[in-house]
Amino acid sequence: MANKPITMSKLRQVLRFYCQGQSKLKISSITKLSRNTVIKYINTFTALKTTWEEINRLPDKDLDELFCKEPEVSLDERLIPLHEFFKTQEKQLRQRGVTLLRLWEHYQRENPEGYKITSFYNHYRLWKRRAAPSMHITHKAGEKMFVDYTGEKLEVVDPASGEIKKMEVFVAILGASQLTYVEAVESQRVEDFIGCCENALHYFGGAPNAIVPDNLKSAVIKTNRYEPKLNENFEAFADYYGMVVLPARAYKPKDKALVEGAVKITYIRIFASLPKELPTSLQQLNEQILILLGTHNGTSFKGRNYSRKEQFEEMEKATLQALPQKRFELRSSSVATVMKNGHVCLGVDKHYYSVPFDYISKKIRILYSKSTVEIFYKYQIIATHARLRSAHNYTTDPSHLATQHKVMAEWNPDYFLAQARTIGKEVEYYIAIVLQRRPHPEQAYKSCQGILSFAKRVGHQRLIKACLRGHAYGLYHYRAIEDILQKGLDLFDLEEDKQLPMPSHQNIRGKNYYQ
C-alpha cells in the first residue's frame, strides 16, 4: 500500500460519514485525508459486506487487521521465479553502478512475460523485508572500510618480570564483503592507529574509496556535525592511499553499525578462542589472532553458502585501489624562520636545510618523516630534502642560493689559493698563512675574499708588495693589508726583498709545484 496507515479513530470517521451518505470528496475535505485514501478504505468496507454498527463495535486491534494489514503474498507461477532471481542477484546490488532498474532489465530479458517495473519494485521490497532480512547491507563494493577499537582488551605477560600488560584491539571491516581484520596494539595513539589501518589495507590487498573511523582523537581532533577537524597525520595517511575520511557522527551508532557488529563477533570468535595461556609478546598474540581471523573470514555466513573471504574474492577485491609500493611515513611538524643564509634549522636534529633565497626572514613550516624533510610556506611546498641527523651541519641545494651565495657555496681553501695564484705567488703564500692561522679555514674565507678584492682596486703589483710587507710585520688579516695600502706603505721598498718560504699546510701544493 502506497498510503500511510491512519489512526483507527480517523478510519471510523471515514466509515461513519460514508454510511451517512456523504460524498467521498466531502469526506476527504472533512477528515483532511487524500481522496485516494478515502476511496481505498471505503472499497475495503464495501468488500466486507458488513454494516457500520458491526464495524463500530470492533476493537481497534481487529479494525486494524481488517483495514490496514498488508495482504499476504501469494506465490503464483510468476512470483516463484522472481524470488529465485532475487536470491541469485542479491550480491549484484552491492556492485558499483548496479541499480534496481538494471536488475529489472536483466529480469525482463530472462522473463519476458514476468512482472513489469512497478510490480517488480514492490515485490522486491516485500521480499527484502520478509524473505531476505540479511539484505540490509547496501554498501557498494570497494566503497568503505570501517575501523574501531574493542572495548575489552587482551593481555600479554612479560616472561622476565611477570608483569601483565593490557593491549588495545583494533578492528577493521570492508562494507560490502564484510571481510574483517583484527590486530592487537599497545595503544590508541596516532602512530599505532595509523599503523593498524595500514596493516588492514595490506591484509585486504587494496584500499577502498573511504575510511570511516570513530571519533577517537587519533582520527578526529574536534567533532562537528558538518566539518569535523581531522588529525593532520591521519588525513595525510588517507590521502596517501587515495581515501577520504568520513568520521561517524557522534552519538549515531547506526553510522558504524557494521564495525560494531564486527566487534561483537570478534569477542566470540577470537577473544573466546585464544589459548588460556597468556602470550609472552605482542607479536605472539597477533600470530594467534591471525590464525583465528583466517578461520572467521573463511566461515560461511549464517543461512548462506559462502563466506566473507569468498564474497570478497568474488565481488570486492577487484574494486579496491592498488597500494603504493612504499608504506606511509608518519610526519611531524615544526615552525621556524628562514635565516639570512637561506637555511632553516630542524630543531629535533639540529641540522640546517636550504630554502629558496626569496623566503629569507619568512616564517615557514617543516613537515618531516623518517626519511624526508618537506618545507612549506603558506601551504605551498618550497623545498624537499633527504633527512640527515648530523647536528650542526648543512644540507644545501645550489638552486636555492642567490647568485652571490652560489659563489660562497663553492668557497674552499683551494678556491682562494687558486685566485691568489693568478695574482702572484707572494699573494698565494700570504693567503695560505691566513687560512692556516684560523682553527677552521671557513673562518678565514671572508678575510681572503677581502684581501683578493684589492687586486681590482689597486692592481696586482701593489697587492703583491702589500702582502710582502704584511708578512714582514707578521700580520695576516684583512685589516693589515687595508692599512698598508691606505697609508701607501707598499710603495716603500723593504730592506730585505727575498723569496718567502712557503708554510706547511695540507692545502698548499708544496715547493716543487712552483719550479
What pLDDT digit, counting tens, does each position of 366-415 carry? Answer: 888 778 899 998 878 989 998 888 888 888 887 776 555 545 556 678 88
Model confidence over 289-348: pLDDT tens digits? 999 999 888 888 776 777 888 888 888 888 888 988 888 877 778 898 988 778 889 888
Cβ atoms within 10 Å, residue 401 = 19
pTM for this prediction:
0.49
| In the predicted structure, residue 43 carries a pLDDT above the cut 50 | yes
| In the predicted structure, residue 1 carries a pLDDT above the cut 70 | no
Q: Region 417-440: what's the mean pLDDT? A: 87
* 8 Å CB contact between 221 and 337: no
| In the predicted structure, residue 95 carries a pLDDT above the cut 70 | no
Q: What is the largest CA-CA distance in the chain?
A: 146
Confidence of residue 244 (pLDDT cuts 50, 70, 90): confident
The pLDDT, as a whole number, for residue 31 is: 83
Confidence of residue 430 (pLDDT cuts 50, 70, 90): very high
Q: Which three three-digit cell numbers place residue 17?
A: 460519514
- Decide yes or no: CATH 2.60.15.10 for domain 144-319: no
CA distance 112 to 104: 11
Paired residues of 173 in beta bridges: 146, 180
Residue 423, exposed/middle/buried by CB under 10 A (0-12, 13-18, 19+)? buried
The pLDDT, as a whole number, for residue 410 is: 61
Residue linked to cell 640527515: 388
Determine which of 76-85, 229-238, 498-507 has the lowest per-residue pLDDT on average: 498-507
Q: Region 274-281: what's the mean pLDDT? A: 88
The pLDDT, as a whole number, for residue 217 is: 61
Q: Region 141-149: what's the mean pLDDT? A: 84
Model confidence over 186-199: pLDDT tens digits? 888 888 888 899 99
Q: Which of 191, 187, 226, 231 is nearest to 213 (CA)?
A: 231
Q: Region 72-101: what's the mean pLDDT? A: 67
Confidence of residue 93 (pLDDT cuts 50, 70, 90): low
Confidence of residue 182 (pLDDT cuts 50, 70, 90): very high
Q: Region 421-427: what's the mean pLDDT? A: 91
The pLDDT, as a whole number, for residue 181 is: 92
CA distance 414 to 401: 21
| In the predicted structure, residue 505 carries a pLDDT above the cut 80 | no
The pLDDT, as a whole number, for residue 496 is: 47
The pLDDT, as a whole number, for residue 134 is: 44
| In the predicted structure, residue 263 carries a pLDDT above the cut 70 | yes
The pLDDT, as a whole number, for residue 258 is: 72
Determine which of 53-62, 157-166, 235-244 has the lowest per-residue pLDDT on average: 53-62
Task: Annotate 215-235 with b (16+ C-beta within 10 A) or e (fewer).
Answer: bbebbbeeeeeeebebbebbb
Model confidence over 162-175: pLDDT tens digits? 888 999 999 988 88
Q: C-alpha 159: how far from its chain's center?
A: 37
Q: What mean pLDDT, rounded, does the chain reach?
A: 79
Give the list of residues 6+ apart from residue 228 with CB closer than 8 angstroms, or none.
215, 220, 222, 247
Confidence of residue 113 (pLDDT cuts 50, 70, 90): confident
| In the predicted structure, residue 200 carries a pLDDT above the cut 70 | yes
| In the predicted structure, residue 97 carries a pLDDT above the cut 60 | no
Task: Kindly state the percentage of the chain with pLDDT values over 90.
Answer: 8
The pLDDT, as a whole number, for residue 183 is: 92
The pLDDT, as a whole number, for residue 53 is: 81
The pLDDT, as a whole number, for residue 390 is: 82
Paired residues of 138 in beta bridges: none
Spell out the domain ranges in the chain. Answer: 8-67, 79-136, 144-319, 332-402, 411-514
The pLDDT, as a whole number, for residue 310 is: 86
Q: C-alpha 364: how far from its chain's center?
A: 23
The pLDDT, as a whole number, for residue 506 is: 55
* 8 Å CB contact between 286 and 184: yes
